[in-house]
Structures are given as structure tokens and as C-alpha cells.
Structure 1
């Protein structure tokens, strides 16, 4: 039986240079590593015996219209006028069982017109990282792209030596980014910019009123997303505008990481040498990215000067929205359903205690869910004072423990476990990959058989830096 994917493509129908038609490079000896059965069913895919061929690029399924998208972007604050899908091919779109339009994209499928000298391939490590982490984020309730499949290609790619080639099949609300708008604005291609805005509004924000409404909707989506990242200790690592999706999903899991010991300025990305995308900087970077979107939309406004004033007010308001989202997220982690302004001090004082003592982020909040985190703290006297304040604040709060149980995961994709998973998989052992993928599907459920996965790294296991893997 051949796999059937019910494609219903719309982006491929756009004219004006938004993409280049591009078939994936066929993998020489594909093998299916993983297929997300539940997600496939949600997308209406009838899985056959050719999944490895389809999700490795060896066979293009009927109805697909493969293409590589064009975009630009600010990378660490520096504008690159043309980026685009340098190692990804969008097969097409489907309408999910929930009525949502979803992209299906092969990532690591070979060169495209936007590869800029690269080979367009991916190796096994980043593919498995994206598969596990994106699915974990979904289970945590955080908007994200999804992983449909992982395949090995049967060839070697070269990244400081030969590595096993692989492809991840990514599912997204769309792959339209801030950088997609930037490239046409920078080129002065106003007709294409207008077409893109209208398409994006129709696809993602049908209630938005014109470019200004689109900007506000995208800002709201980012203001909702970033506090959710911070609530689980997630650090994206490369919040460039080409990695900032208009629909508000987490996208492009390169040098991403989850914190172990809490540090507000924590950086993992090996290429983020100045800490631009550190944990604490993520809200400000989200605003900066939205300012670039606002700039790109200005040519569509009838009075750009007046629009600058309105957009500036909107961007200032986004800071307040992010702050409110942060307060709501962390208050829930402490069992407070309706936070007030003074709760911010309760939260920041706890975080300061955690940072001073090097307390594990996830395990501290998990311990608080059970009532007490003194075992996580080095300064138990200061913690005792804070704990008394917290208990006093919880008086009159009904359902605090239940709220905390759904706000504080017991398990996250810890960096050292991800690295161990990759090392084992390169050696041909996928047992840890399968175990992590299964365990992370229920991140809020305590059970005995995940005790080792909850454990912070030993000194020898600490992963000090993460890499894009491109």
C-alpha cells in the first residue's frame, strides 16, 4: 500500500517570487527511524509501506508541490538580505482533523537555490534533537512546530568529520517568518508585500484588520509564547528574525536547551558569544523582532509617518503584555491563579535564591508542587523565610496544588540526556531516543521509571554549549 497524503496547497499558488520550485534530493538508502502515528492520523495521512521513501525525499507523493521558500532576516542583529530554505523543502499543505491548515516540510533534504554554498543536508544528531524537543514542547502545551517523521538517508554528511545523514519531517501552521516580510520590504516589492500580508491574514489571523491588525496579532502571539518558554526554563538560542514565525509557534530547534541550574543570564548557543539570546533577554528580543516586522509593514500603510507613531505605542504595550504573561506563568507555578502586582517580588525573590544556590529549575518547582523545596536550596534559612511568605500568600487560594501540578513538569528534555541519546543513536542504538520520546509525552505525570531522566547532570555530564548542527 502506498502512503496517501491529502494535500491542499495554497502557498504554492502564490505568484511573485515567494519561492523556488525544488524537489528534495533522493536519499540513497532511506530507513524510517520514527513516525508519529497520532500526528499522521490528525493530518489525514494514510500510512503505507513507503514512509521511509516519502519522508527521505526518495519519493515525492502525489499531490505534493515541493518548493523552497524565500526570506531574509536579522541574524544576531545583522541584516542578511537573502536567506531562504537552504536545506528544507515544503512538500505541501494539508487540512488537519481540527480544520487547521498545516505545512509538511522535509528538513535536511538537500541543496536549494538558497543554500549559500552549503550541502543542504542534516545529520542524525540535530534531527533527533528536533524530533524529541519539538514533541516535548507540544506535550508541555507550548505552541510549536511538530515532528512527523525522522529518517536516516544512508549517506554521510560532513560536519567536522563524517556523520550519518538524516531528515526530520516538520509540521507547522506555516513557515512564514518575520524575515519573509523583510525580504520584500527591503527590495521595495510592494505588490508582493501586499500579497503576503493578505495571504498571512487569511491563513492565520482572519479577524485582523489590514497590516496594523496583522502586526498586533503577531505581537500578541509572541507575547503569549515567550513567557511559556521561560516557565519551563527553555532557551531558544537563535531568535533571529528568520526564526521568528508569524503564527507564534516555536520554530527552528538548533542550539536550543533547557536550563538545569537556574541562571537568568544563561546561554547555551555556541554562536551566541555576547549573550544576545540569553534566557532573560528573550522578552526584549521578541519585541525587537516585532519592531522589524513593523518596519517591514510600513510600506503598506497609507500614512507611514502616522503609522510609525502607532506602531511605537503598540511595541511599548507589548512589553507590558510580556510582563503580564511572565507574572501569570510564574504565579501559576506557585499555585496562584489570579496574581497581583506584589506577587512579582515573591517570584523574583525565589528565583534569586535559586540562582545564588544553583538550584535546579525544574526540580525546584516540582518540589514546591509537593509542598517544600528546601532540599534544593543551599541557604535554607533564607528559603524558610521565603517559604513562610509563600504559604501566607496561598491562604485563600483554592486549587493551588492542582494548578501547580499542571504548571510544573516533572520531566523535561535535559541536555545531557539529549547528547547521550545522540551518541547512542550514532552507534546504532535508538533505545534512549525511543524512551525519551515516550517519557516526554506525559511531562506532568510522576512515575517511578523516569527517576533517572529527572536527575540533573553530574559535573561530568554537564553540556556547556549547544550547536546548530547545520
Structure 2
């Protein structure tokens, strides 16, 4: 497992050498063999348990903790950083691309602010299942290579068994990474980070000077729009869209308080700490726009004329809404298999969503039923009878294929995730996780024999809450 150094030549503030803390009894609990095949990684369980728990370190490449700032629920924290994560380095895939290899829960770092730097088993397994589910659904996401149990107790409320997650990502460059260097007044580091991010994620940007910065911002916005639209297409609620959890690559990161929507409602919130609904399902586009505006602010020191910078960067930010609305409308047309584009499409979608909210219809199962109804005599909710007549007039022979490609039959339901987490925490193993992960590998394929995995919880998750793992 050859590692490469990353980020250390950008700024001394950005990547600080920090060694993981060894654990008492590392054991490999989950290993993503499909992902591992993309890299030259040993499959020896003992080697993986020691290396992927931080108990053994490759001396050739020094692990680092990354610094970043963040707006958390709108409040700015100038110095956050990896409080419980160590970047081991970058690993090369079989195509020659570099990917960050990071341990989450490997002990305290210089950014821990008094925390223990550890991760409980439940959040580790949640991240493994959810990131693999989103990857299979075609959503840009960080991936989990492994979960290693530590043999130690993590003192939360209540105390939990400990674990370390191995995360793989295109990069860990966040909106908060730029905020951090700008806040620290490290203009040289900020310039280098912009160039590095462009080279990694947007190599097609060929402009120079200040135009290069505005083009970079526009490219990041496009990625964020693509990501949020894809989340909303499948009913995913991130739960903690802080700027420190926003990767400029447009990958999903941080699965702490995330959840899937069952009954449709734009106001759906599951996070126990989101008391105002800031990160509700329907607010995710607004927050993505807001986060991109914070990124634009961090670029101001790179312009010679601040007034001109404000004008040019604001113009890019102000274009977010129109871009998002276009992508959002396209998403709904695909979900409904509409033939072409007509003036009444938005009204048709709006009427459907109103009925779904009014009758508390399940988001995933409703669109799956509409999809399958084009091919078989699939049961549909009685509450949609009048709407269905109008919708069918807008479909064509191509609609089934279009809808089947974007409407999942199965998602990682919250109650199924919780069942698995409970199994692990009570017995140290799960009889269900293998079957669920197998089902989630083909989320757009409807199979009647898998109906048990398609069903929402009996209470519609009316009392369900998610929690941050720290």
C-alpha cells in the first residue's frame, strides 16, 4: 500500500504532522473488497487491522491533520480542523489517480480542542452503509474502505464500543479549507490551494489571473448544484451542511446526522441538533448557495481591487438560483418520465408533491410505483387518481426506461440502518448487514422478492432522530 504525500507543500497551516494513537485490540470488522480492488491494497486482515486503526504507521509518509474553518449552523468557527481524523496520505488507483486515505477516529490531533479523537462503532457502520448506498445510487460521495473495532470504549452518552473508519476521497479540500487560510492571512497558501484544487478537480479551467478565480468559483457551484439535486432526487437529507462539510469536489462527506426521507415533506428534519430546520430537506439548495457565497468571500484577498472582486464574485453567486432551478426542473421531468418540456410541467410536479404531502405518501415508493405502473398493473395510491390521468398524457414509450434509471426501488431506510446498528452494539455482529449491502448494490432494479427492504417504517419515522457522532 504505497502512499504519497499530499497538501504539505501548500501551507504549514493546512497540513500538520500528527500521528494516530494506537488502540488496544484492533480487529477488521468490515472491509470493502470491491473498493480495494481499485487500489494495490493487501487483503491480510491482521495487516489491515493494524494499519487501518492507526496502530501501525507507514514511516515513509507522515500522517497529517488538516486545518479548516467552518460556518456551523451559520456561526463561524475560525479554527476547526481534523479533530478526530488523520490523513495517512494519498493512494493511487489502477488508473493513476490519487485518492486521500484518511482514518476517522484514530485519536486526538492538534485540532481536537480537548476531545478524545475517537469514533463510536454505530456512526462508523452508518458511514460505511450510507456511503456505499449513495455510491451505488450514482451520487458523488466519499467511500469507506474499512471499519476496524478498537477493543476500547468511547465515552459518549451512553458509552459505546470504539471503531476507526477508513475514508477514501478524491480530496478533502473543503470550503472551510479556503476560509481557514484566508482567516489566517496566508495569501500565498490560499493561492496555492486554489491552484491545487483546480489541478485536481477542474483541469479544464485554462483562464488566468483573477478570471481564473471566478471560473473556479463557477465550477464549484456547478458541482454543488449537481450534488444537491442528486440528493433530492433520492430523498437524502445531509443534516449538517456546514462549510467544513462541503467538499469543493462535489462529493458527499460526513454521514453523522444524515437520513433518508420517507413521507414526502420539504420540511423534513431528523438531526437532533437542527432545531430551526436550517438543513431540512427542502432547504439544502439555499444552504448550498449560502456556502458557495462563503467560499467567494474567502477569495477576496486574491483580488487587487475589492470593489471589482465583490462585483465579479457576486455575479457568479447570483447565478446559482437560475442554474439550480434549471437542474431541479430537469430532475423532476426525469423522475416523471415527461416527454419533452412543456409549460405546464412545473404545475404538474407541484400538484403531485402537494398530494404526496397531504396524504403522507412515501417518496421513494410513490415514484417507484409510478415507474412500474408504466409496465405492469402496479398498485397506485387512490389519492393520485385524478392527477394520474394528466400525467399519463405526458408520458411516452421511453418513459419507463427514463424513470427506472433515476427512481430507486430501494434506499438505505433509516429503520433498517438502526436495526443493524443495534445488532452490532448488542452482539458485536449483524445477521442483516450482508443482505442489505447486497440489496443496495442494485438500487434501481425492482424485485418483488425484496419487498421487505422496500417498506417504510410503520410510524413513518415520525419520532426518528439522528445524532452527530462526536
Q: Give the TM-score range, shorter chain.
A: over 0.9
Matched, 1:322 2:316: no
Q: Answer whether contact 2:410 2:453 (CA < 8 A) is retained.
A: yes
Q: 1:207 to 1:416 in 2, by over 3 A?
A: same
Q: Does residue 1:102 correspond to 2:103, yes or no?
A: no
Question: Is the 8 Å Cα contact of residues 416 and 462 (structure 1) preserved in structure 2?
Answer: no
* Distance in structure 1 (CA, Å) of the matches to 2:399 and 2:95: 32
| Pairwise CA distance, 1:462 | 5.2
Q: List aligned pairs for 1:326-341, cutoff 5 A.
A: 326-336=328-338, 338-341=340-343
Establish whether residue 204 from structure 1 lines up as the match of residue 201 from structure 2: yes
- Any idea what SS the aligned residue of 1:344 has? helix
**Residue number in structure 1 paired with 2:31:** 35
Correspondence 1:139-218 to 2 at 5 A: 139-208=136-205, 209=207, 210-218=212-220
1:177-203 deviation digits (Å, cap 9, x = unpaired) = 001100111222211111111111111
Give unpaired runs (5+ residues) of structure 1. none
CA distance in 1, matches of 2:388, 2:152: 56
1:43–1:161 Cα change, 3 Å: same
Q: Is the 8 A contact 2:149 2:163 kept in 1?
A: yes
The alpha-carbon deviation at position 411 of structure 1 amounts to 0.6
Which residue does 2:16 correspond to in 1? Answer: 20
Deviation at 1:12, TM superposition (A): 3.1
Q: Secondary structure at the match of 2:4?
A: coil
User: Residue 298 of structure 2: SS of its match in structure 1?
Assistant: helix
Aligned partner of residue 266 in structure 1, secondary structure? coil
Q: Secondary structure at 2:196's aligned position in 1?
A: helix
- Distance in 2 of aligned mates of 1:349 and 1:393: 14
Aligned to 2:229: 227
Counterpart in the other structure of 1:450: 450
Distance 1:270 1:419, change over 3 A: same
Counterpart residue number, 1:417: 416
The answer for the alignment partner of 2:315 in structure 1 is 313
- 1:66-465 aligned within 5 A: 66-208=63-205, 209=207, 210-336=212-338, 338-371=340-373, 377=381, 380=383, 383-394=384-395, 397-427=396-426, 428-459=428-459, 463-465=463-465
TM-score normalised per structure 1: 0.94
Q: Is the 8 A contact 1:85 1:115 kept in 2?
A: yes
After superposition, the C-alpha distances for 1:243-269 in whole angstroms (9 at most, x for unaligned) are 010111011111000001111111111
Shift of 1:206: 1.7
CA distance in 2, matches of 1:443, 1:75: 33
Residues 296 and 399 of structure 1: is their aligned pair in 2 closer, same or farther, counting only changes over 3 Å? same
How far does residue 317 in structure 1 lie from its aligned partner after superposition?
1.3
- What is the CA distance between 1:313 and its match in structure 2? 1.7
The CA distance in 2 between the partners of 1:80 and 1:460, in whole Å, is: 36
Q: How many angstroms apart in 2 are the aligned matches of 1:349 and 1:61?
A: 58
How many residue pairs end up in the alignment?
Answer: 461
User: Once the 2 structures are TM-superposed, how far is the Cα of residue 400 of structure 1 from its aligned partner?
Assistant: 0.8
Aligned-pair CA distance for 1:74: 0.3
2:469 matched residue in structure 1 = 469
Contact in 1 for aligned 2:239/2:259 (Cα 8 Å): yes
User: Structure 1, residues 61-80: CA drift from partner, whole Å, max 9, x if none?
Assistant: 36443110000010000000
Gap regions ≥5 residues in structure 2: none
Distance 1:106 1:331, change over 3 A: same
- Range that drifts further, 175-184 or 295-304: 295-304
SS in 1 for 2:89: strand
Residues 36 and 374 of structure 1: CA distance in aligned 2, closer, same or farther (over 3 Å) = closer
| Distance in 1, Cα, partners of 2:106 & 2:400 | 46
Distance in 2 between the 1:297 and 1:399 partners? Answer: 45
